[in-house]
Structure 1
Amino acid sequence: MKVTRLCLWLHALSITGVLVGAFDPITTTVFVGVGATLGRFIYSKFQESCNAKWIFFNTTGLEEDLNRNVFGQHIASRIILKAVSGFMNNPNPKKPLVLSLHGWTGTGKNLISQLIAENIYKEGMGSNFVHVFTSTLHFPHPSQYLTYKSQLQQWIKGNVTNCEQSMFIFDEMDKMHPGLIDSIKPFLDYYDKVDGVSYRKAIFIFLSNAGGDGIAQRALEFWKEGRNREEIELKDLETHLALSVFNNNQSGFYRTSLIDKNLVDFFVPFLPLEYRHVVQCAMAEMRERQLATNKDVADKVAKELVYFPKSERVFSVKGCKTISSKLDYYT
């Protein structure tokens, strides 16, 4: 608001001749030069730019956010912290960072994407350099498949040209037309430049429910064996996850060259959430709203959710997705 008022004031004075009429030609030239410099200063100070003032990685912040806000995801949290930290601290990466997050709805995929953005970009998800594509919104018509491919390439090329440290989040990959994502394969590869543009400092994150059932089944096996879920390791899930997604003809990753050419750096599994994790989500939501945390209320919210398998009620079918609306009813 202050910047807008200053600009309007300067503009009004110049129109009425107060600025120009008050000085001789030499002084006027100097003043105009000073005004232009001031304008550039104001613009650079308040307008988001692709530089270290607006884009800087906070390793400690990401680690703290993951510990404080993400529950039941020891594998995902560890991979994300190491992968993002390693990439952001590398001044000369060989390719863009490509992460594919998989799991049931409400397990934290969108949340972790948000936390990554918040610890890289000063404006977080509101940054002009963070771009979110939702399959059902941006690519809804299979008949427009070829048009979407061309548009997607142009969108990404234009944004990376504008800022090489851009982030692209593709939500609902399981609903994307198979083959569409292959259009951006050259941007994710080990090329120095593609048509004069370097994509090596960009980040691509894919979110999908595909593979979630297999992840849940593996977690259930550990539970039935009486083993701690924290014993589950990436090696127990990653290979099977990549293959199941690659062979799923209902997924945007079906037979994709991104997987075939090993361009996805990490397939990140998100485990289904147990009752205790749902309670933690409810407590975290209370803190976010600056409400007094109430364990009894959190328990009531958690008990209302649907669990799988029905007899044992081990995993929340929708994770923590409906916690916010459920909490409205009890607070």
Structure 2
Amino acid sequence: MAKLNGAYFVGTGLGVVIALVGILIYCFISIECCDCHWISLDEEGLEKDFTHKLFGQHIASEVIVKAIKGSLSIPDPKKPLTMSLHGYSGTGKNFVGQLIARNLYKNGMKSQYIHVFVSTLHFPHVQLTDQYQNELQMWIRGNVTLCPRSMFIFDEMDKMHPGVINAIKPFLDYTSDVDKVDYRKAIFIFLSNSGGDKINEFTLSILMSGKDRESIELSQLEEELSLMVFNDNNNGFWQTNLIQTNLIDYFIPFLPLEFKHVVSCVRAELASRGVKNESIVTIIASSMVYYPKEEKLFSLKGCKTVASKVNLYF
């Protein structure tokens, strides 16, 4: 048994046997089990959540919903579903993981089959890269052994050392098993701020030309985004086999949020607190910072600080 930043995990052999016994006990006492009772996609709920709760991201909503539904509908997928989400902070990348979790796992983000890693928290020291590689591979192997339908979310991929990223590669490939473990039903989601400048510049050019943001299509950004990530020397992604061997299924841009989207975020935050006060919604949304300096089209922090802004009024 090994340890990764305070979390224990199992590898192969006796450790896996012990863990399997443990999971059977969990099933018996109904804490959580890796079966259709605990893990089952609510397609209607997923579609509704992405339509009504993820604001200003028509590309992400369409692509991710189709990707999740398509992947889970195949009994014998060719590879794990792997998505790379790009855009500035506050645009909804982390929120997407929550929406998927609540509609796939009965316990939502509290499910023991969802694993979240933050680069600067879990892999902070370059000199420990080899250790991180070994521990991360053992963690993924052990948990997919326990539940093939595990979900792994890696935040701050642009800050992760390429050596650590490469440790993930064996589990994403087109193969039925790695060391007798099948990873093809797992889900891998990578979150990154890289590409944010390019996404924002393109969105601004569309709006300034008089076109609607909903006219932007994935094909207009995906190829350029993948090339930008590949060629960015300051991005850990660029040196990795994940990019070079085309193991990422989707590069998904998250567009900058406009005032109307911030208004929706404020309204949703108030509703979550049981507050119905439409007169205060615009006031709170207007208190956010917007850019560029002249046009003030986009929220500088997206919807990330909406909750703290609401705290000032309630």
Query: Could you state the TM-score of these two structures normalised by the residue count of structure 1?
Result: 0.86
**2:160 paired with 1:176:** yes
In 2: Cα distance, 1:156 partner to 1:43 partner: 21
1:298-326 CA deviation, whole Å, 9 max, x = no partner? Answer: 21111121212011101111100000010
Report the residue type matching 2:207 in the other structure.
W
**2:123 paired with 1:139:** yes
8 Å Cα contact 1:215/1:270 also seen in 2:
yes
The alpha carbon displacement at 1:209 in A equals 0.5
Partner of 1:308: 291
Match of 1:191 among 149, 168, 175: 175
1:187-211 CA deviation, whole Å, 9 max, x = no partner? Answer: 1000110001000000000001110
The alpha carbon displacement at 1:252 in A equals 2.6
Question: Counterpart of 1:131 in 2: which secondary structure?
Answer: strand
8 Å Cα contact 2:133/2:163 also seen in 1:
no
Partner of 1:71: 55
Partner of 2:42: 58
Displacement over 3 Å in runs of 4+: 40-43
Superposition map of 1:5-154 within 5 A = 44-154=28-138
Partner of 1:274: 258
Deviates more, 1:295-304 or 1:152-161: 295-304
Deviates more, 1:299-308 or 1:217-226: 299-308
Partner of 1:297: 280
In 2: Cα distance, 1:309 partner to 1:42 partner: 53
Report the residue type matching 2:104 in the other structure.
I
**2:208 paired with 1:224:** yes
In 2: Cα distance, 1:295 partner to 1:221 partner: 32
Closer, same or farther: CA 299–151 of 1 in aligned 2, 3 Å: same
1:147-185 CA deviation, whole Å, 9 max, x = no partner? Answer: 111111111001101111100000111111123211111
Question: Counterpart of 2:236 in 1: which secondary structure?
Answer: coil
Number of aligned residues? 291
Superposition map of 1:309-324 within 5 A = 309-324=292-307
Structure 2 residue ranges without an equivalent (≥5):
1-23
Deviates more, 1:267-276 or 1:281-290: 281-290
Partner of 1:15: none
State the identity as a percent. Answer: 54
Partner of 1:203: 187
Question: Counterpart of 1:119 in 2: which secondary structure?
Answer: helix
In 1: Cα distance, 2:137 partner to 2:311 partner: 42
Match of 1:250 among 220, 230, 234: 234
Question: Counterpart of 2:197 in 1: which secondary structure?
Answer: helix
Closer, same or farther: CA 89–45 of 1 in aligned 2, 3 Å: farther
Report the residue type matching 1:306 in the other structure.
V
In 2: Cα distance, 1:101 partner to 1:146 partner: 26
8 Å Cα contact 1:179/1:254 also seen in 2:
no
8 Å Cα contact 1:180/1:252 also seen in 2:
no
Question: Counterpart of 2:152 in 1: which secondary structure?
Answer: strand
Q: CA RMSD in A?
A: 1.3
Closer, same or farther: CA 298–43 of 1 in aligned 2, 3 Å: same
In 2: Cα distance, 1:174 partner to 1:141 partner: 15
Report the residue type matching 1:284 in the other structure.
A
The alpha carbon displacement at 1:44 in A equals 2.1
Partner of 2:269: 285
Structure 1 residue ranges without an equivalent (≥5):
1-39
1:19-59 CA deviation, whole Å, 9 max, x = no partner? Answer: xxxxxxxxxxxxxxxxxxxxx89952522011111110111
Q: Find the structure with the greater CA-based Rg.
A: 1
Query: Could you state the TM-score of these two structures normalised by the residue count of structure 2?
Result: 0.90
In 1: Cα distance, 2:235 partner to 2:183 partner: 25
